[in-house]
Structure 1
Amino acid sequence: MPEYCITYFNVRGRCEAMRMLMADQGAEWKEEVVTHDMWLKGDLKKDAAFGQLPKFQDGNLTLYQSNAILRHLARNHGLYGKNPLEATLIDMVNDGVEDVRVKYARMIYQNYENGKDDYIKALATELGHFERLLASNKEGKGFMVGDEISFVDYNLLDVLRNHLVLAPDCLSGCPLLSAYVKRVSSRPKLDAFLSSPAHKNRPINGNGKQ
């Protein structure tokens, strides 16, 4: 049986970055899919540390909070930089990814019809920060921090791929990020996952907006 288990709704949402990480690292996991009716019963919410999903199990360890789960997986698989300085920089970039993810989710779930156009207009500035950070590391030809892939690369890749669905031209002013998405997505094990029904048939968001 897989050591890892994700308990979450049938969406990519906050779990796709961890799925991408595990797939790329050759790890196995199982999924416990939560339906709307199951969630409304309240038992899962009552047991959750902060009243929300995802829930992640690593053997006897149960975790909540998606970024904590990503960091746990990063420690398990050597994806947290080569030294404390790189780990700090990875944390910094991941906090920036979280800022974008929260803004995206707020627009998708609370203000899609009225806020989508303004949100897309602001993307040049939002994504431009990551373009500059990427350019500062090996002239943008590798990863966000250091010489090796880290957990933040999976998290950023997921956010960028979601935005390319929302606004296909959103990286037109970010050539390094555009190449980065293609380069990281083409890693053999990750490409196999991204091409699989497990990824392609899972909705990005729970309300059908994208």
Structure 2
Amino acid sequence: MPHYKLIYFAVRGKGEFIRQLFTLAGIEFEDFRQPLGSDEWPAMKRETPYGYLPVLEVDGKQLGQANAIAKFIANEHGLNGSNAWEAALIDSVGIHYDSLFEACRPFYKSWLKISDQTMEEAFKLSVEPGRDEFFPAICKFLRGNESGYIIGEKPSWIDLLVADHCTTFLRYNPNYLDKYPEAKAHMERIHSIPAIKKWIEAQPQTEI
């Protein structure tokens, strides 16, 4: 069995759904969490493939980019759809999500206090429009799939990614998904999977 080491910051961010993916697959991994603002980060940054985290080390070899890491793990362990078409649909949702993440970037900067905007301003001006671009398509997928998952008959890495995004913004604003009840039900379904539920309950509770 390869030695997996996931390197990310000590927050959920773009690393938590990958941690959950390992958990769902039943695969042991080293969960390395770098404190935000650590003096060690500038030196670490120079050693990463693209200058940011997460990074997955597999027997010492490095893979960057969160979605690429997730697809690698999912392909290895049957969590990337049941066929090539489902895998392509899952990938399309991942690309769709990239736009939402970019829309949320001003909010994350406000949370880190590296922006002149307040979190309230960033939420209203950036997060809400991004949400309203992203979730109609997700809810359409969910309404058309009796399994309760976004694509296919079993959970995939994209279910974990979308559900964890919802966690972040529901913690900030409990009304975040009021217009998208299918997405909220989906999040609850994913987080009730026994392995995921147990993992979440054991983790530090962070805002992001």
Q: TM-score, with normalisation over the residues of structure 1? A: 0.85
Per the alignment, residue 112 of structure 2 pairs with none
Alpha-carbon shift at residue 14 of structure 1 (Å)? 1.0
Contact 2:2–2:58 (CA<8 Å) still a contact in 1? Answer: no
Per the alignment, residue 138 of structure 2 pairs with 130
Contact 1:2–1:29 (CA<8 Å) still a contact in 2? Answer: no
Residues 153-202 of structure 1: CA deviation (Å, up to 9, x unaligned)? 11111111112112211222222212111111100010001111x2xx25
1:145 and 1:88 mapped to 2: Cα distance?
10
Q: Name whichever structure is richer in helix by fraction.
A: 1
From the superposition, tell whether residues 31 and 76 of structure 1 become closer, same or farther in structure 2 (CA, over 3 Å). same
Per the alignment, residue 168 of structure 1 pairs with 174
Q: How many residues align?
A: 198
Per the alignment, residue 203 of structure 1 pairs with 206
1:202 and 1:61 mapped to 2: Cα distance?
30
Per the alignment, residue 89 of structure 1 pairs with 89
Q: Tell whether 2:148 aligns with 1:146.
A: no
From the superposition, tell whether residues 12 and 2 of structure 1 become closer, same or farther in structure 2 (CA, over 3 Å). farther
Most deviating of 50-59 and 83-92: 50-59
2:102 and 2:126 mapped to 1: Cα distance?
12
The one of 36, 40, 49 aligned to 1:38: 40
Alpha-carbon shift at residue 20 of structure 1 (Å)? 1.1
Contact 2:74–2:156 (CA<8 Å) still a contact in 1? Answer: yes
Q: CA RMSD in A?
A: 2.0
Structure 2 gaps of 5+ residues are 110-114
Per the alignment, residue 63 of structure 1 pairs with 63
Most deviating of 81-90 and 53-62: 53-62
2:169 and 2:138 mapped to 1: Cα distance?
14
Per the alignment, residue 156 of structure 1 pairs with 162
Q: Amino acid of the residue matched to residue 9 of structure 1?
A: F
1:118 and 1:46 mapped to 2: Cα distance?
33
SS of the equivalent of 2:15 reads helix
1:134 and 1:46 mapped to 2: Cα distance?
41
SS of the equivalent of 2:39 reads helix
Higher relative contact order (CA 8 A, sep 6+): 1
From the superposition, tell whether residues 54 and 75 of structure 1 become closer, same or farther in structure 2 (CA, over 3 Å). same
Per the alignment, residue 54 of structure 2 pairs with 54
Q: Amino acid of the residue matched to residue 141 of structure 2?
A: L
- Overall identity of the aligned pairs, in %: 26
Contact 1:120–1:167 (CA<8 Å) still a contact in 2? Answer: no
Q: TM-score, with normalisation over the residues of structure 2? A: 0.86
Q: Amino acid of the residue matched to residue 185 of structure 2?
A: A
Structure 1 gaps of 5+ residues are 206-210
1:115 and 1:7 mapped to 2: Cα distance?
28
1:80 and 1:121 mapped to 2: Cα distance?
29
1:99 and 1:51 mapped to 2: Cα distance?
20
Contact 2:11–2:206 (CA<8 Å) still a contact in 1? Answer: yes
The one of 115, 118, 121 aligned to 2:122: 115
